[in-house]
Amino acid sequence: MNLENISKEFKKKGENIKVLDNINYNFVANKMYAIFGQSGSGKTTLINILGLLEKPTSGNYIFNNARTDKLNNDKICDLRKENIGYVFQNVELNDYLTALENVELPMLINNKIPRKERKEKAIELLEKFGIKKRINHFPKELSGGEQQRVAIARALANDPKIILCDEPTSSLDSKNTKRVFKILKNLAEEGYCVIVVSHNELIFDYADVCLELENGKLHEVTK
């Protein structure tokens, strides 16, 4: 995932604010990246651009060797479904579906995996993250940590290449935070490109690369 001269501006009260200012960065597989920066520094904007949920004002975003500004909306949708797993701050599981059904849902939407395999795969993912006994529970019957692990399992359902997490541990205690970071680190070791926005300092023990977003610029920091 290569960002080339990426800028993003928003209009606020008639004024243009440059949130991302000419960012160049190449995110590669097999690594866990931590992105931090003050509130309002543009972390979510950057994650949304990486996740093909928002377009930059200028610059090229190269995904899978393709210039994303040249792709139509259908193609962008396919890229998202097939390559990107999202883990959001407020978890956003479907309250009316069980843990198992939540993980099955992206596979159902992608419609490439037969029903039986879909279920087996969802169970396997939930087991991997320690939710085995709770697969038939609804989100409200699960703890915050369990819900976020279900969300990670869901993000992996379609075998993405990249996992984007926007403050995934902000509602978790430190024990669950460490557990989530450890899971994400293991996924990077398995070969995924894992990008995590977080202001929890615990992430420094897990991330391979730490990046700070400051005044619209992204720079690497040494741990």
Ligand X SMILES: Nc1ncnc2c1ncn2[C@@H]1O[C@H](COP(=O)(O)OP(=O)(O)O)[C@@H](O)[C@H]1O
Report helix, strand or coil for 178: helix
Would you say 31 or 55 has its CB closer to ligand X? 55
Report helix, strand or coil for 169: coil
Which regions of the chain does DSSP assign to beta strands (E)? 2-12, 15-26, 31-36, 58-63, 66-67, 84-87, 162-166, 193-197, 209-214, 217-221
Q: x-or-dash pattern for Mg ion, window 41-70, by CB under 5 A?
A: --xx--------------------------
What does 198 interact with, of Mg ion, ligand X, none (CB < 5 to 8 A by kind)? none
Phi, psi for 97 (deg, rounded to 5): -115, 145
Candidates 10, 28, 117, 219; binder of ligand X (CB under 6 A) is 10
Q: x-or-dash pattern for Mg ion, window 7-46, by CB under 5 A?
A: ------------------------------------xx--
Long-range own/partner contacts, residues 16-19 (CB < 8 A, 24 or more apart): 18/216, 19/45, 19/216
What does 175 interact with, of ligand X, Mg ion, none (CB < 5 to 8 A by kind)? none
Does the footprint of ligand X cover residue 216 (CB under 6 A)?
no
Candidates 12, 13, 133, 140; binder of ligand X (CB under 6 A) is 12
Q: d(Cα 146, Cα 150) in Å, to the nearest integer?
A: 6
Residues with Cβ < 8 Å from 222, sequence gap 6 or more?
Answer: 210
How many chain residues touch ligand X (CB under 6 A)?
11
CB of 197 to ligand X, least distance (A): 7
Q: x-or-dash pattern for Mg ion, window 159-198, by CB under 5 A?
A: ----------------------------------------
CB of 129 to ligand X, least distance (A): 26
**Which has the closest alpha carbon to 171: 134, 146, 191, 141?**
146
Q: d(Cα 47, Cα 155) in Å, to the nearest integer?
A: 15
Question: In the range 27-46, which residues lie near ligand X by CB under 6 A?
Answer: 37, 39-45
Instruction: State the residues that interact with Mg ion by CB under 5 A.
Output: 43-44
